[in-house]
Structure 1
Amino acid sequence: MWTERDNGNDAIACNGPGTANPVVLMDDRILAAASSSMAASTPQVSNLNVNKSSRVHIGPKFVSVTQNVQNAEMIKELSLPKYLWDVVKNSSRTERLSCAAALMVLITCITLIIYFTVQTTKSADLFVDKPPHEWRITREMWLAQPYNNSLIVDSFNPLMLVVVQHTVSSPCSKFVICAAQLRNMQHYFIGTYNYDIPYNFLIGNDGRVYEGRGWNIEGAHTFGYNRCSVGIGFIGDYREEMPNHSRVTEAQMNRTLMLLAEGVQSGYLRDDFLVVGAKDLRDTASPGSILYNAIRKLPNYDRKNRFSNLTCEQMRDAFGNSSLIN
């Protein structure tokens, strides 16, 4: 029991009867001081950085730590090889095998495409165009269908007029391509209009002459003049205003002159025959500005346009017994 004089004492140690250890008695002031001392000695943690751990031992407790990672910022800081390696490293074995299989398929496809492209190019380079004749290709040579065409009336022979047109089709620079194009053209006209290929002769972009209906056969190229003229069609589109127009070559013009000379020698053309473009006789753009300018340079071009608006009979009566020399 404490008395008034005992208030100055902080603690009293006493040993009771039978007590092995001393007993320390403390009042409220001593307990408060002790608590303050313990609180002061405990470290205060405001910020804690933790790497590679989700639980931290602080004092007598385990503290759970939530770690927030800014993925976007981390990706930006990585280079592409490191990023790809990180993706591969963090993927499963199944995902890696799937990606490897897809990559192998892609490489195989690209290799096959390159291989066949190279082989096709080599085949095209090795291809040799071997026509059955140097420049004069008959109907039998380009495998034309047989067709019964009308002959030119004897009263108009030999012919005084050659009409030049263009086919307004794709150009052809090799015999096999030109021959195939003529077969397609003939098939179209027979199936659509029930008549043979309309031109008497065609000039390929390869510089060869292809027989259409041939000499002494009435054509179907220029309405009103088919019975008394020879129609020559240049394969291609010779309108200069068109983006993919054809060009007239020297070989084409030389072979055309050779064909006309053949006609004169065989008696199918008058030696003073005249050449015109289809636009000189009818309201049409044929044979195109490029080809039209080329035939205007020929010595036999009709600069007087004397056959316009005439029938075959009128042409025969007007010029049958007179010279057509310009």
Structure 2
Amino acid sequence: MWVEPRQELPMTMGRSSAGSDVVMIDPATNTQPAVTNLNVTKSSRVHIGPKFVSVTQNVDNTEVVKDLPFYRYVWEFAKNTSLAERLSCIIAILVLIICTLLIVYFTVLTKRTVPDDDVAPHEWYISREMWLNEIPFNTTERTTDFEPLNLVIIAHTVSAECHVFKNCATEMRNLHENHLAEHKYDLPYNFVIGNEGRVYEGRGWNVVGAHTLGYNRCSMGLAFIGDYREGSSGYSKVTDLQLQRASMLLAMGVRMGYLDSIFQVVGAKDLDPNTLSPGTNLYNRIRQWPNYAHDNVFRNRTCQQIYDYFKGNKTQAAEND
């Protein structure tokens, strides 16, 4: 529709095929419409009068990142990263989870593994009655002829470990029953030390043992529960507490007059070449004791010869003083 000059030119509004508004004007007139603000949707070029006008669209996104829910934020972030970056993030998260679980395990769960029921009748010395041995044993053979004893022989039981009193008491009964069934005699050792560090009475003081053939009448046999051969699978490791309790037991023997103050210690294999007892791990530890007999003058000697040897050394020491 045409209008007179100098009159306001009416404009006919329409829609483009792209869905945007189209302004239609008369191409014969020089009068241009005053367009101050034009909203265009989905179109980069607009036909206004005789000209095509390029339109620059400014898009305002009113939804900002901080307003997104966390899961959407993570999803949007993941979409904008490369595969390598996503894999790196996944690995980092897995490492964090594993570290957290390890911290929880070592700070919380390991405390729960410490047995709360490790209660014993005595702090460290467990008599036969305390470990519930009800089987009578032969006490007729005594070491009286060679007391105070000068020789302590260390061995190991080559049996299952025990780390609480009730398990060690059970292991002592098992050892006792096995020796009765196989050898028809009592526990061969005078004393046994558990893996938890307690001393368990075997045959006890002043009783002849059955641990080292040829030396039982003039020695005290002390065994450690477990298998201390380092070449064996899952071998036992001697603890400082076990060694401390062994030292306390030997000091008790000296005070009670069953052991000589100058007694010496050897491993069972020092006297018997056919055995590996007490195992490399334990053997290396007792070799560090100040009263370990490094010269091993006892092999192939009788009890009387050993007794005379110590008696002669004590006499010579007294004369030198």
TM-score when scaled to structure 1?
Answer: 0.60
What stretches of structure 1 move > 3 A for 4+ residues in a row? 121-127
The residue that corresponds to 2:170 in the other structure is 180
2:124 is the alignment partner of 1:135: yes
The residue that corresponds to 1:218 in the other structure is 208
Conserved 8 A contact 1:152-1:228: no
Moved more, 137-146 or 148-157: 148-157
2:292 is the alignment partner of 1:316: no
Amino acid at match of 1:139: R
Q: 1:282 to 1:123 in 2, by over 3 A?
A: same
Q: 1:294 to 1:123 in 2, by over 3 A?
A: closer
Give how far 1:288 is off: 0.4
Q: Could you tell me how far apart the structure 2 residues matched to 1:236 and 1:129 are?
A: 19
The residue that corresponds to 1:249 in the other structure is 239
SS in 2 for 1:322: helix
SS in 2 for 1:149: coil
SS in 1 for 2:313: coil
Q: How do 1:177-326 residues align onto structure 2 when only pairs under 5 Å count? A: 177-283=167-273, 284-323=275-314
The residue that corresponds to 1:162 in the other structure is 152
Conserved 8 A contact 2:268-2:277: yes
State the aligned residue count: 205
Give structure 1 stretches of 5+ with no counterpart: 1-120
Q: Could you tell me how far apart the structure 2 residues matched to 1:296 and 1:131 are?
A: 31
Conserved 8 A contact 2:144-2:206: no
Moved more, 306-315 or 257-266: 306-315
Give how far 1:319 is off: 2.3
TM-score when scaled to structure 2?
Answer: 0.61
SS in 2 for 1:320: helix
Give how far 1:122 is off: 12
Q: Could you tell me how far apart the structure 1 residues matched to 2:170 and 2:263 are?
A: 32
Provide Cα deviations, 1:42-77, integer angstroms capped at 9, x if missing partner.
xxxxxxxxxxxxxxxxxxxxxxxxxxxxxxxxxxxx
The residue that corresponds to 1:99 in the other structure is none
Conserved 8 A contact 2:115-2:164: no
Kindly indicate which of the two structures has a greater share of residues assigned to helix: 1
Provide Cα deviations, 1:52-103, integer angstroms capped at 9, x if missing partner.
xxxxxxxxxxxxxxxxxxxxxxxxxxxxxxxxxxxxxxxxxxxxxxxxxxxx
| Aligned alpha-carbon RMSD (Å) | 2.0
Q: 1:306 to 1:128 in 2, by over 3 A?
A: same
Conserved 8 A contact 2:143-2:207: no
Identical counterparts, % of pairs: 53
Conserved 8 A contact 1:203-1:209: yes
Conserved 8 A contact 1:149-1:196: no
Q: 1:218 to 1:124 in 2, by over 3 A?
A: same
Conserved 8 A contact 1:199-1:220: yes
The residue that corresponds to 1:59 in the other structure is none
SS in 2 for 1:162: strand
Conserved 8 A contact 1:238-1:245: yes
Amino acid at match of 2:161: P
Give how far 1:192 is off: 1.8
Q: 1:126 to 1:281 in 2, by over 3 A?
A: closer
The residue that corresponds to 1:75 in the other structure is none
Give structure 2 stretches of 5+ with no counterpart: 1-109
Amino acid at match of 1:224: G
Amino acid at match of 1:138: S
